[in-house]
Structure 1
Amino acid sequence: MKARQQRYAASRSAPFAPTPLALLLSLVALPALAQQAPATAANAEAPAVEQRQLEGVTVRSRNRIEKLQDVPLSVSVVQGNELERLNATDINSITKRAANVAWNLGNQRTSSISIRGVGKVGQTEAQDPSVGLIVDGVNYAYNALSSSFDFIDVDTVEVARGPQGTLLGKNTSLGVINITTRRPSFTPTADYNVSFSQRDGVAGWVAAGGPVVDEVLAWRGVVSVNRQKGDLVNAFNRDNTYTNTDRVSGRVQFLFKPSSDFSARLALDAQPRAAEATNGRTINTPTPRTYSNGTATNLQTDSGTKLGRRWFTQNTGFTQDDFYYGGKTGNLVNNDAARPLVTGSHGATVDLNYRLESGHQLTSISAYKDYHFNAVNDEGTPFDIHRNSGGFWNDYKQWSQELRVSSPLGGLLDYQAGLYLIKVKNDAEYQKIWGTDAGAWYANDAQYKALDADTSGRQLLADSLANLNMAFNSPAGQQYIRNTSTAVFGQGNWHLSPELTVTTGLRITQESRRNTAFSLIKSNGSGTDLNPAAVNGIALGGFLNSAKGELDATNTATQLGTADRVAQLYFGKAVTATPGAAYASLSAAQKQQVAYAKAIRASQVGVIFNPVEAEPYKATQPALVISPSYKFNADATGYLSWQHGEKAGISQVVNGVSFKVEPEKTDSFELGLKSAWLKRTLIVNADVFVSNIRNYQQSVRIVDEYTTALNNNGQFAYTSATGNVPKVRVSGIEVDAVYAGLPFTQIRVAGAYNLAKYRSFPNAAQPVENGYAGASPYRDLSGQPLAGAPKLSFNIGADYRRPVWGDKEFHTSANVAFTSSFYSDNALSSYSVIPKAWVADYAIGLGRRDKSFDVSLVVKNLFNDKTPLSKTWNSYAPAIPRTVSLVFTGKV
């Protein structure tokens, strides 16, 4: 117990973190390591090369190739070369390089992207993401499509903040991450990357391409493999680790260009199904002994109390310290039934471009994308409590079509306009299976003591839930989701003078959301006769009895026959010709045991309902942008913008009752300056912003209409579900800067001071520490910060590259990401606060200047920051520890 408490205390204490000054000094010191290298003529030219790079940064966030400094939006750009130097291939590593954007780790289905502190919400299958992800012109309309993939052979990553939609595919209410991969060309290339890491990590990718028919047909293909053990070990099966990596993917593109006026690109991608253990990355800690008001915690339902029952302690091979609180090393879990989460995807895109004699460009993007997800979870013990404690089986498909016309540049007005259509089909089942130890786990104290008293009771206890298999109600057992968005959009740049340009844009989207849901028992398992007689009007084959087990007078002969079978099976009573006689011969204690076993089963079965067609959501929604920009001189452009965006409402079912969620509406105001200084060796882009969000979609506390009607006692029952927060406001300052004035060095700084608060949120759920008797069902969080929204976040990246030894190049790179403290759960529990954290990545290497060969040592989480990823009042998800890799790259 003492060791457990020490580990628990350590997990709550502030982790080691170097000071900002120390980190900055270390970045400054990096170039000094190479100053002794012999100078060459190329050395003197390097700063000029860096200066040209700063002038030439371009973006595609408005479907044109434009200079970043001319775009009147808050946009961050990260080059693919920068990501490759630090081996940053996953979405989490990518988002660390941009300002005011964060990756919120869940599992492959529930992870999310937030911009300006907004967007960290629990994923529901019928909900659109608030932050869009576009890959090579194709919008991914499902959060999960970003989470379990490596982004390889990337050209650029752009983060556009604020509502989007007058140009960028599907409308989004908070912003877009736009990833562009390298395209086929008629110049032969072949690049490779192979890395060896701690924990048996091996990763590699090969990208190659070139002409098939000179100047007519070209290709580019990439294959990627990434495998590594996780840092947490499952003691039940030591080959199962959390969070492991197991990814194989491939992409091939063909570019057909028969003339200078027409091109067609076909892209195919595939990620075969593979398994990664994410769910279960949890270290349990002792439950606090008091609630927030000082009253004693109700520990009857606490896991630690349950594990102290004879049913579990009779297995002397385990102690709670061994299997529930991290083990002796603090990094053990013990899950007998958990399986790694299986994901897979396929995609196809046809991209057509045709230039008319008038100079107008016609573009068509036709795309298909699918995604599979399967989770088999465990409750966190080595006992047979759950064969699957709840996990989704998802099959997601989307089809999209975009048609666009772009005018020539120049003159009073240049514009783009088009049509967009996307159809989504998502079949989702929430699976739950109970095991032979589940009854002893879910019984309350009175039920457990009565049933564990003798052999018959123990058999009832086991059979109460053993092998029960359900499409379980969370929020429904099965959902058939059908979403369609059809839009017309246009945006124009009005060049009113050489200095003044006004950008205006409008999008009209017709949204349709449909959802059919139901919950059911797929297999009754061992306790068929212990079923309730009916739930929600659906007959389940059981019989009616009182709380003490007495038969109800309204039982039919069939139901009495079921009761007799129970008496025979568990107590050896002979069944007679008189229905119900065998059961009536039971003693009062035996009838009570039956009543308790049936009550345990009924509590876990929960709500069952036949297919319900949720109230559909259909609406016409606008997106708007008005943004004047003024070029003060060649090196300074100011802009002002108003962006309005809307996210579709949600068609859903809560406990068998339709509960429609209203659309989320955002108005974002921005004042920005894009500037170049010091002979354009310093680029500074900054903005101040205010975003007002109405009907923000996240978990709220609502009246449970089903349970209220079922209880029929004049009291309201409550539950939590995805709903609407009336008002949210986000305001702050963002800065993106790049400096290349030092020899051989480029420094990037991206940061934000961000205030994301609920302006009105009267119906929040209570945090767990407020679970004392008599607590209000609601908590007013008006004026409080949003979960996952640190006030201060920034990252500093430095890249130093110096020619040495003739044709060689020494290089070193670093990136330091800082976040201030924030709440990690939507209820804003005081136990969920994540302290401030510094996470540094570092690389150092040597290679040939022609890029034919390079070797680097790459360290992620250099200082081994141990700040938890999330926390509750009796568990936490530990940080991903330091990882050292040796990386070989080159060109063939």
Structure 2
Amino acid sequence: MTLALALFATLQAGPSAALPDDPPAEPVAQQRVEPSAEPAASQGGDILVTARRREENVQDVPIAMSVLGGNTISSTGAFNVNRLQQLQPALQFYSSNPRNSAINIRGLGAPFGLTNDGIEQGVGLYIDQVYIGRIGASTFDFVDVDRVEVLRGPQGTLYGKNTTAGAINVTTRAPSFTPEARAEVSYGNYDYFQLKASASAPIADDKLAVRVSTSITSRRGTIYNVRTDEYLHRLDNYGFRGQLLWKATPDLDITLMGDFSLQNPMCCVQYYARVGATQRPVNRQYAALAAAFGYAPPSTDPFDRVTDLDAELNSRQEVGGASLVANWDVGPATITSVTAWRYWDWQPANDRDFIGLPITTVSQNPSHQKQFSQELRIASNGDNRLQYTLGAFFFRQTIDTHGSQVQGPAASRWLLNPSSANANNPAVLDGLTSTNEIGFKNTSFAVFGKLNWEVLPGLHIQPGLRLNYDRKSGSYVSVVTTGSGSTNLNSDQRGVLAPQSYDPRFSDWNLSGDVTLSYDFAPDVHGYATYARSFKSGGINLSGLPLDASNNPILSVATVKPEKVNHYEVGLKTQFANRRVTLNLAGFWTEIDDYQATVTNGQLGVIRGYLANAEKVRVRGVEFDASFRPSERLTAYASGAYTDAKYERFPDAPCPPELSGGSAATAANPAAPPGTPGGPSPAFCDISGQRLPGVSKWSLSYGAEYNVPVPSLGDGAQIYFGYDGSYRSNFSSNPSPSAYTWIGGYSLSNFRLGIRADGGFNAFAWVRNAFDQDYFEMLSVQSGSTGLIVGQPGDPRTYGVTLSKSF
């Protein structure tokens, strides 16, 4: 499609077409003023964005959004999405390893828990207009980024892939017809090293320009494994990106892009954090089980950062692809074609019992994904009273996974019910192996469009529509063998690892839309109100199904229904004091019927949950983004979000760990109070009115930078001091809120002190998490209802220096 468009336009232009003498290399970035201390708002200059598929001043766009430029990303160390959340209060990122990662905005996007390939993401990640089908790619370093736009709320009438919670739009630096180069190197404690470099130049008579970029990041791990004498949670990232820009005619440009990244971080380990009581008999809870094996963790203080994991660990992933983007200005409109092919390869190994005993000795799901996407858009040009964007999008994805899980000699005592005659017989579960073959095909097609009609001067009505088709098909085959290789299993073995084979299918059409009413109260005061009705596609369960009383899979839960979203939002964008002060406000209310949640079941050996629909979820809140520049010497910013996210109705949810592990409750023998050893457990729990996981009610980002001119070091030389802080209140780290898995609120402080000068020179020292705050990124529950809670701690205090120069 892209190639045909390019050839047709070239023939139409004829041989006499000429290029401008010196077209701008970076038309967006070069029209922005972005000192490093200000991630969210303008400091007197216009920030141009492409959130609505055309260049606009961010203050004129009636969408709650934030913009981070390349300078901000560099100075604050926000070189991937995980670190980006410290600057974006409404953004949440969770990752137990690269594959099991999720991006949420305002608490919505993906179910909290381990990844299930059969569902969609609610937050779209786009790099240079290409939709990225695997969130694992978001754990990579940003390579040569010009800016990152974070859009909050449904965006399905503007973007190719449906995005019901928001979008992250990453734009890299474009090839330049003026030769230039950039280099940045950082070094810090834990043997931290990062190198970023890029170069761009014309290569053929102002018709062709090339840009190449690379990024390398390495760091020794922050967690020590006493069993293997190695450091875990390390960084080991490599990335490369190349671009070739062809100015075929004055009105047509075509960019060919390719990228490759490799990550081998030995990362994301979870280990002993705390212990809580469950309903399992006391001799089958963690303390008694550990004592029976004579086991003790190397430390019961997780912030000693030591563990004794005994299974092989690996988190290698590789991602790459190519895209062809064409923009053809036909006068009243611009036609854009985006053609892309991408792949993602995941080679993991995990210790899923989280301790130094041979319970689950192998747990891995190596996975390979390929995707092809084609987007075609036409967007009106100029400042006409009626503007439009129309588009069509096609997406095809295949995923092949070949997984395995192996139980060890400690599994029988650890996982089987104490009433079983096999509970103390290691041979029953030792070597029990599940070999999984999982296939997934996902086809999506959509047409979408949005109008912007200025009904009266300053009054705009902006309706949008999207027609979407999704088809998903999968295959899940799990073959379970005993340690001797037999497929004849007893009931205890089937209760831990059950053979399954099923072929789920889902397909559906849906029509969604939105309407925004905006008004320009003054040149720098803009208000808007939005209603959106959107859908998140239904899905299929591809992590195994729960079992019935006979240990057979329950096929009725092989699919999950689409989410139906009603979203309301009002906002105000303002600048005053000669645009030295920016204050943007937004309030939102989102209701979701058939919310897709990750739940667990009563299997003692289950590691992964499955998907189910919660009847209704409601998320509401308010946000603000503010910046202040009283002088050329001082800039400051503050952003905040209050988010009230809860299950409105979820009467049949899985129970939290303190109510799990007991015998089935009956009318004659009702459920015992939480944490009663040996007490009956309810089959399900009503968690209506309780908070969604992973969402802090309060989150803040704030900071400032002050500079002092130093003329003796050259024109424009400055010494500067910067501070960036963030705060999150407590949040639940379990799908059903548990007394044991709340993560306490915490604040982080980062400082930098440096010198910069004209000519692109910048050198600064930095310290992140300066006060060495102890905090968890997430907490999880060990399978088997033992009461063990494991955690993944955030980074300790790090410090170092960065030197950068542009040429």
From 366, 371, 374, the equivalent of 1:398 is: 371
Counterparts in 2 of 1:57 and 1:667: CA distance versus 1, 3 Å: same
CA-based RMSD of the aligned residues comes to: 2.7
SS of corresponding position for 1:308: helix
Aligned with 2:565 (options 637, 661, 666): 666
| CA distance 1:335–1:693, shift in 2 (3 Å) | same
Normalising by structure 1, we get a TM-score of 0.78
> 1:745 pairs with 634, 659, 665, which one?
634
Q: 3-state DSSP class of the match of 1:276? A: coil
Cα distance in 1 for partners of 2:413, 2:42 equals 70
Which of 192, 207, 229 is 1:201 aligned to? 192
- Once the two structures are superposed, the pairs formed by residues 479-498 of structure 1 within 5 Å of their partners are 479-498=438-457
Distance 1:703 1:202 in 2: 45
Deviation at 1:108, TM superposition (A): 0.9
Choose 371-380 or 489-498, whichever is displaced more: 371-380
**Aligned amino acid, residue 399 of structure 2:** N
Answer yes or no: is the 8 Å Cα contact 1:480–1:516 preserved in 2: yes
SS of corresponding position for 2:796? coil
Matched, 1:155 2:119: no
Secondary structure at the aligned position of 1:300 is classed as helix
1:762-806 deviation per Cα after TM superposition (whole angstroms, max 9, x unaligned): 111111112353332221121221111111111012233443134
Q: Which residue of 1 aligns with 2:704?
A: 798
Q: Does 1:219 align with 2:219?
A: no
| Structure 1 equivalent of residue 9 of structure 2 | none
* Residues 497, 740 of structure 1: alpha-carbon distance in 2 compared, 3 angstrom cutoff: same
Rounded Cα–Cα distance in structure 1 between residues aligned with 2:226 and 2:649: 46
Residue 321 to residue 263, structure 1, CA distance change in 2 (3 Å): closer
Relative distance call for 1:726 and 1:54 in structure 2 (3 A) is farther
Distance 1:639 1:803, change over 3 A: same
Shift, 1:497, TM fit: 2.2
Contact 1:171 1:623 in 2 (8 A): no
Amino acid at match of 1:347: G
Q: Specify which of 340, 359, 365 is matched with residue 338 of structure 2.
A: 365
1:281 corresponds to which of 254, 258, 270: 270
Name which of 722, 727, 736 aligns with 1:818.
727
Deviation at 1:632, TM superposition (A): 1.0
Q: Equivalents in 1 of 2:659, 2:311: separation in Å?
A: 32
SS in 2 for 1:277: coil
Distance 1:61 1:802 in 2: 35
Separation in structure 2 between the aligned mates of residue 109 and residue 674 of structure 1, nearest angstrom:
37
Contact 2:441 2:472 in 1 (8 A): yes
CA offset digits 1:511-564 (Å, max 9, x no partner) = 11111111113x654x24xx5xxxxxxxx357xxxxxxxxxxxxxxxxxxxxxx
Distance 2:41 2:311 in 1: 57
Q: Residues 79-98 of structure 1, C-alpha deviation per residue, up to 9 Å, x if partnerless?
A: 12111112220111112222
Task: Give the counterpart of 1:855 among 763, 771, 775.
Answer: 763
Partner residue in 1 for 2:23:
none
Contact 1:87 1:858 in 2 (8 A): no
Aligned length: 729
Secondary structure of residue in 2 paired with 1:869: strand
User: Is 2:495 aligned against 1:624?
Assistant: no
8 Å CA contact 2:617, 2:646 repeated in 1: yes
CA gap 1:843/1:224 in 2 versus in 1, 3 angstroms: same
Contact 1:173 1:664 in 2 (8 A): no
**CA offsets 1:102-156 (integer angstroms, 9 cap, x no match):** 2123221122111112235222111111111111101112322212x00122111
The alpha-carbon distance between structure 1 residues 438 and 671, as it changes in their structure 2 partners (threshold 3 A), is: closer
User: Which structure has the greater CA radius of gyration?
Assistant: 1
More strand by share: 2
Alpha-carbon distance between aligned partners in 1 of 2:422 and 2:681, rounded to the nearest angstrom: 29
User: CA distance change for structure 1 residues 102 and 701 in 2, over 3 Å: closer, same or farther?
Assistant: closer
Residue ranges of structure 2 left out of the alignment (5+ in a row): 1-34, 547-552, 661-675, 781-786
Q: Is the 8 A contact 2:297 2:355 kept in 1?
A: no
1:602–1:498 distance in 2 versus 1, CA, 3 Å = closer
**1:302 pairs with 2:285:** yes
Tell me how far apart the structure 2 counterparts of residues 344 and 268 of structure 1 sit (CA, whole Å). 14
Q: Matches of residues 579-728 of structure 1 in structure 2 within 5 Å?
A: 601-604=493-496, 606-610=497-501, 612-614=502-504, 616-652=505-541, 654-655=545-546, 656=553, 657-659=555-557, 660-700=559-599, 721-728=610-617
Please list, as runs of the form range in 1=range in 2, the aligned pairs for 1:9-20 lying within 5 A after superposition. none
- The one-letter code of the counterpart of 1:828 is P
- Indicate which of 170, 177, 181 corresponds to 2:172: 181
Distance across 1 between alignment mates of 2:788 and 2:127 = 39
> Which ranges in structure 1 are unaligned for 5 or more consecutive residues?
1-44, 314-318, 452-460, 472-476, 532-539, 543-597, 708-716
Give the secondary structure class of the aligned counterpart of 1:491: strand
Matched, 1:345 2:319: yes
* Residue pair 1:511, 1:648 contacting (<8 A) in 2 also: yes
Q: 1:233 aligns with which of 219, 224, 236?
A: 224
How far is 1:600 from its partner? 5.2
The answer for the alignment partner of 1:135 in structure 2 is 127
Superposed counterparts of 1:261-660, under 5 Å: 261-272=251-262, 274-285=263-274, 287-288=275-276, 290=277, 298-309=281-292, 312-313=293-294, 320-322=296-298, 325=300, 330-356=304-330, 358-378=331-351, 379-388=353-362, 390-439=363-412, 441-442=414-415, 461=425, 463-471=427-435, 477-521=436-480, 524-525=482-483, 527-528=484-485, 531=486, 540-541=487-488, 601-604=493-496, 606-610=497-501, 612-614=502-504, 616-652=505-541, 654-655=545-546, 656=553, 657-659=555-557, 660=559
Instruction: Give the Cα–Cα distance (whole angstroms) in 2 for the partners of residues 197 and 46 of structure 1.
Output: 20
- 1:425 is displaced (CA, Å) by 0.7
Does structure 2 retain, via aligned residues, the 8 Å contact 1:702–1:763?
no
Are positions 1:103 and 2:111 aligned together? no
Distance across 2 between alignment mates of 1:72 and 1:799: 29
Between the aligned partners of 1:218 and 1:353, the Cα distance in structure 2 is 16
Is residue 283–residue 331 contact of structure 1 (8 Å, CA) maintained in 2? Answer: no
Question: 1:663/1:194 Cα in 2 relative to 1: closer, same or farther (>3 Å)?
Answer: same
Match of 1:831, SS state, is: coil
Q: Is contact 1:51-1:680 (8 Å) kept?
A: no
- Cα distance, 1:877 vs. partner? 2.6
2: distance between equivalents of 1:165 and 1:51? 25
Letter in 1 for 2:503: E
Does the 8 A contact of 2:629 with 2:635 survive in 1?
Answer: yes
Percent of paired sites with the same residue: 28
2: distance between equivalents of 1:450 and 1:890?
65
| Residues 338, 376 of structure 2: 8 Å contact kept | yes
SS of match in other structure, 1:841: strand
When structure 1 is superposed on structure 2, of 154-163 and 807-816 the one drifting more is 807-816
Once the two structures are TM-superposed, the CA of residue 758 in structure 1 deviates from its matched residue by: 1.4
Q: What secondary structure does 2:267 align onto?
A: coil
Equivalence for 2:749: 840
Change (3 A) 1:862 1:219: same
1:14 corresponds in structure 2 to none
| TM-fit CA distance, 1:53 | 4.5
